[in-house]
Structure formats: C-alpha cells, structure tokens
C-alpha cells in the first residue's frame, strides 16, 4: 500500500514508543522540521529496525519504572545498529539502566516547568543558551552513570537532566523537548536530527505528492479504485490524490446516511463532482441508516451499526462497477493510533468505522495514501494538489456523523434541531472570523436533559444543546476555545430564538485529555 512502504528508501528517524502520552508529539515536532519519522512499538524486533533503515532512533518516555522487574526494554540491537540514539525521560533512564548506570525513585518528583543549566558543550544543545526552560514529568531519576556517559545538564531536582556519550552517539534528556512548554525543544530535536544523525532529506508535501502518485500507480497498475467520499478533508484529499494518479479509473461514492449536517450533500456534489471533477455517484440511504438506529442509545453500538450499514451500501454500489480491485480510504495516523494499540502499551479509546479492516466478502485491497499523516499535513498536501481553501479549512466531521452528537437514541425529531443549531454555530463563527481560528466546533443535543424555560409568556420544557469548540494541532490533544462572550451570547440567542425544541444552550469547557473531543 502507498503509505510507509513508499517511503522506505527515504531517510527517517525511528521513534520507539514506550507508552508516553507525548510520543505522537515527538513525531509532530520532527515532521514540522521536515524530518520524516515513523513510530514503532518499543518491542520492535531487530528485523523491523533493520528494515526501517533509520538515520537515528528516539526512545520515547513512558509511565513505567526501569527498576521494576519486567518493565519495557528495547531490543539490544537498538544500541548495536550504529546509529545515534536519543532517550527522552523513560528513554533516557533506559540508556542509563541498560549500560551500567543506576536509576532510582527520585528524592523529589519533578512535574512542570524547570530550568535546565547546561554544564558542558554538546551537539545536542548547539547554538542554544546555557539556561533553558524545560518541561519535566518524572518520578524516577538517574543516580549513577557508567560506560562513557557524562553529565551535560542539570536542573534543581535532577542532577543528571541531560547526558551524552558522544563517541557512541547516545544522548539522553530527562525533560520533554517535544512539548511546547520546553521553549526551545524543537531546536534540541533539530540538533539531534540534523547535526547528530546527519539527516539531510527535507520531507515536504511537494516531495510526498510525487512519491505517493508514483506509489499509487505502482500499487493499482491498470486496476480500478472505489472510494467512499464523505465530503470532508481526509477523503477528499485522498480521492483527489488518487484521481491525479489514475484519473477516471477512480470511482467515488458519496453515501447520504441521513446523519449529515445541513448542506453537506450539496457541497459534495458541487465541490467534489463539479469543481474537482471526480467520478462521483451520490446514494441516498438515509432511511436504511435511521431505521437501524431507531431506539439504539449506546454510542459504540451506534458506531458499529453505522459502520456495518455503510459497508453494505457501499459494497452494493461497488459491485455495480466492473473490475474494481481496490478500496481507497482517507485513514489518518491518529485514526490508527486511537483505534488499535499499535505502538506502545496504550489503550483503545473508541472505534473508528473506517479503521480495522473490511469484511472478507468485499475482497478489496486497501489504498490508504494518508495513513501516515496528521491532519495539518493532509491540509498541506491538499494545497499542493490545488484543493480549495474552503474545503481544506472545513472542521473535522466524524464518520458516524450526527449520530454521535445526539446523546442517546437517534431520531429525525432530534436531528432536525441539531442540524439547525449546528448551522447557526457555523454561520456565526464564519461571520465573526472565528471559524478558521479554532480546530473544530459543533453542537451536541442532550435529549435526556430537558429543562424548564420561559419563552414569551409560556413555560417550556425542552431540549438542551451544548456548544463544543476546541483548539488543537492534530486532534491528539485539545483545549477548549476561548470564544468571546459576545459571540457566544449571539449564538445562544439565535439558537434559542430560531430552533424549535431548544430552550437552553451550554458551553463545554473541558480539554482532551481527560475528555475526548466528541461526546460519544
């Protein structure tokens, strides 16, 4: 498939994941520096590491303690591969513990900001000031070094906050350079990649575009590809990319599930069909989906019902196209991470209906050209292809659609006010200039939370809706948007005044983690 395999020949940094909540941020920061990287589980084998042919290896942080029996360890080949190694937090403690040093519970645990004082010159900190603000998150610490390691930097609570063995190309930092709280952390990662690993390639979307087009052509050959288009950024960019590679041999199917937002179907027909000139067919299956969802309140059951129904409809339409061997999906890296524990000892958060494989009866091979990309990288790739800014700037919309924004059983009576409220929210965000400032905004309806209100001279007992707006870079973490109070007041006033069946509007001020972005 044209994802990681198409990039095998390129330089890359390999990140071994020990379960840190920040592992994905390491990848994000390196890619922002135009350094291509991939993530593998901490237990990656010698064969997997050799196949990756990395220019360098990063050992991520993790929640375990290296002095605990059975704690995660990498394959010893990591230190025999002859490439530089950077250990971050738990990764640094592994460097120490596996090479004659000692790691013990810290006398004083360190969480939050700290000042790093550099004690010696090191290529890892080249051209950086002698004192740096860094972010700490650890309960263990190195107590003794051995086998050529020396101390490069310290903080008030961590005397071994940065270490190195430059002869071997091994470096360790107790802090997290990947988080924004470490003010010059990206410079540290850049020094590791460019100065220490001698990483020369510049991984850009323009270079990816050409390699992916070639990879798609190599995979598909003279075959045909069928693609499920949602009208969102991911599937649209995937379809446009594949269309550029194989032209009209790509067949796009847009399924109206009855769970779309106001205007979604019309925009798909206009932008995808007429403007991008994709080979597009629209199928109205709203009665099927709503019928199967009737009375179903459990969110995971709703997702599974929608996923199964979608496959059925899509399979039926795909069978009408003769000679189709491939299915295109706009799967992204975060989808894979959240759906399957493919990296470190991380938990499955919730299922995504477009990840995890297809029913065997479909017998189609997957084409997933975006599988290794984060959302902002997909948008950059879309700009390279020439997709409109309006489509690329659209907020993420989940595959199950409005079904997971109705908390409880889905019905046409609840979808109608939800669509109307969501449309008002988007209209006011665009009019105020806030739509492009936030990552994602939407409305949730709470049918089980009905409240008393007064409208005119009458007492009402109607639905509550919640506005959810978050700021994020890739959807892995998010903070609630600080929308102006006047804007929220206007949105609330319009919803209560114009949407029948709603008399109360609330605003969600929780971040991810601990909450997820979607409510279900």
Please give the Cα distance from 282 to 159 (Å, whole number). 63
Average pLDDT over residues 77-95: 95
Instruction: Output DSSP code: residue 52.
Output: H
CA distances from 109 to 88, 119, 235 (A): 16, 22, 45
The reported pLDDT for the residue numbered 157 is 82
pLDDT at 286 over 50: yes
What mean pLDDT value characterizes the chain? 87
Percentage, residues of the chain above pLDDT 90: 58
pLDDT in tens, 389-437: 888 888 988 889 999 999 999 999 999 999 999 999 999 999 999 999 9
The reported pLDDT for the residue numbered 502 is 93
pLDDT at 207 over 90: no
pLDDT at 65 over 60: yes
Distinct helix (H) and strand (E) counts, the chain:
14, 18
Residue 452: pLDDT band by 50, 70, 90 thresholds?
low
> Among all residues, which ones are annotated catalytic?
89, 176, 178
pLDDT in tens, 142-200: 777 877 899 999 998 888 999 999 999 999 999 999 998 899 999 999 999 999 999 98
Instruction: Flag the least confident range among 135-139, 247-251, 481-485, 506-510.
Output: 135-139
Tokens representing 55? Answer: 């220019």
The reported pLDDT for the residue numbered 8 is 41
Q: At what angle do helices 375-385 and 205-220 cross, to 10 degrees?
A: 80
Residue 461: pLDDT band by 50, 70, 90 thresholds?
low
Which element (helix H / strand E) includes 453? Answer: strand 440-455
Sequence-distant (6+) residues with CB within 8 A of 371 are: 1, 3, 4, 331, 332, 333, 336
Q: Are 429 and 438 in contact (CB under 8 A)?
A: yes
Q: Are 86 and 59 in contact (CB under 8 A)?
A: yes
From the list 513, 485, 293, the residue with the least C-alpha distance to 405 is: 293
* Strand, helix or coil for residue 249: helix
Interior angle at CA 497, CA 491 and CA 499, nearest 5: 85
- pLDDT top residue among 372 and 54: 54
pLDDT at 336 over 70: no
Point out which residues pair with 40 in neighbouring strands: 16
Indicate the burial class of 121 (C-beta count within 10 angstroms; 0-12, 13-18, 19 or more).
exposed
Sequence-distant (6+) residues with CB within 8 A of 199 are: 11, 13, 35, 55, 56, 193
Average pLDDT over residues 63-79: 89
pLDDT at 346 over 70: no
Residue 361: pLDDT band by 50, 70, 90 thresholds?
low
From the list 224, 218, 281, 219, the residue with the least C-alpha distance to 247 is: 224
Please give the Cα distance from 221 to 249 (Å, whole number). 10
Average pLDDT over residues 67-72: 85
- Number of Cα atoms under 13 Å in the Cβ half of residue 133: 7
The reported pLDDT for the residue numbered 272 is 83
Please give the Cα distance from 377 to 372 (Å, whole number). 10
The reported pLDDT for the residue numbered 383 is 92
Tokens representing 135? Answer: 């972010």
Residue 61: pLDDT band by 50, 70, 90 thresholds?
very high
Residue 349: pLDDT band by 50, 70, 90 thresholds?
very low
From the list 422, 421, 440, the residue with the least C-alpha distance to 483 is: 440
pLDDT in tens, 290-317: 999 999 999 999 999 998 998 899 889 9
Average pLDDT over residues 461-472: 91
pLDDT in tens, 128-139: 999 999 998 766
Instruction: Output DSSP code: residue 512.
Output: B
Q: Where do we find the tokens 């010696």?
A: 120
Q: At what angle do helices 485-498 and 412-432 cross, to 10 degrees?
A: 140
Point out which residues pair with 133 in neighbouring strands: 115
Instruction: Flag the least confident range among 25-39, 59-73, 347-361.
Output: 347-361
pLDDT at 48 over 50: yes
Instruction: Give the other-Cβ count within 10 Å of 303's Cβ.
Output: 20
């Amino acid at each position: 498939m044209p994802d990681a395999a198409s990039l095998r020949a390129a330089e890359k940094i390999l990140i071994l994941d020990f379960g840190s909540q920040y592992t994905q941020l390491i990848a994000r920061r390196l890619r922002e520096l135009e350094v291509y990287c991939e993530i593998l589980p901490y237990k990656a084998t010698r064969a997997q590491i050799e196949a990756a042919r990395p220019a360098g290896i990063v050992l991520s942080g993790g929640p375990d303690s290296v002095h605990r029996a059975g704690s995660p360890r990498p394959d010893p080949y990591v230190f025999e591969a002859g490439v530089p190694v950077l250990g971050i937090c738990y990764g640094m403690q592994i460097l120490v513990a596996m090479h004659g040093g000692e790691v013990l519970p810290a006398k004083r645990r360190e969480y939050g900001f700290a000042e790093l004082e550099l004690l010696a010159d090191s290529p890892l900190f080249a051209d950086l000031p002698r004192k740096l603000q860094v972010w700490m998150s650890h309960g263990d610490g190195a107590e003794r070094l051995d086998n050529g390691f020396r101390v490069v930097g310290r903080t008030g609570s961590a005397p071994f906050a940065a270490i190195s063995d430059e002869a071997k190309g091994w470096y360790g930092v107790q802090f997290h350079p990947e988080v924004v709280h470490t003010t010059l952390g990206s410079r540290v990662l850049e020094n590791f990649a460019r100065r220490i690993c001698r990483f020369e390639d510049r991984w850009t979307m323009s270079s990816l575009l050409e390699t992916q087009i070639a990879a798609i052509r190599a995979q598909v050959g003279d075959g045909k590809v069928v693609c499920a288009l949602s009208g969102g950024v991911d599937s649209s960019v995937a379809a446009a990319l594949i269309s550029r590679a194989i032209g009209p041999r790509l067949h796009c199917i847009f399924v109206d599930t009855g769970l779309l937002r106001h205007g979604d179907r019309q925009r798909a027909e206009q932008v995808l069909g007429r403007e991008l000139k994709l080979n597009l067919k629209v199928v109205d299956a709203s009665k099927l989906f709503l019928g199967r969802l009737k009375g179903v309140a459990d969110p995971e059951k709703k997702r599974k019902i929608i996923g199964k129904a979608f496959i059925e409809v899509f399979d039926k339409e795909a069978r009408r196209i003769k000679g189709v061997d491939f299915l295109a999906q706009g799967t992204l890296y975060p989808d894979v991470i959240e759906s399957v524990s493919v990296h470190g000892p991380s938990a499955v958060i919730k299922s995504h209906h477009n990840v995890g494989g297809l029913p065997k009866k479909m017998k189609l091979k997957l084409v997933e050209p975006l599988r290794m990309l984060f959302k902002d990288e997909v948008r950059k790739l879309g700009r390279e292809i020439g997709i409109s800014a309006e489509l690329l700037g659209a907020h993420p919309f989940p595959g199950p659609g409005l079904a997971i924004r109705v908390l409880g059983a889905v019905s046409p009576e609840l979808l109608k006010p939800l669509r109307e409220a969501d449309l008002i929210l988007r209209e006011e965000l665009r009019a105020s200039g806030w739509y492009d400032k936030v990552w994602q905004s939407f409305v949730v309806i709470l049918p089980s939370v009905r409240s008393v209100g007064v409208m005119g001279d009458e007492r009402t007992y109607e639905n509550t809706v919640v506005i959810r707006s978050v700021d994020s870079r890739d959807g892995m973490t998010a903070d609630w948007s600080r929308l102006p109070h006047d804007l929220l007041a206007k949105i609330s006033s319009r919803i209560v005044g114009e949407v029948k069946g709603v008399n109360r509007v609330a605003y969600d001020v929780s971040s991810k983690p601990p909450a997820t972005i979607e409510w279900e």
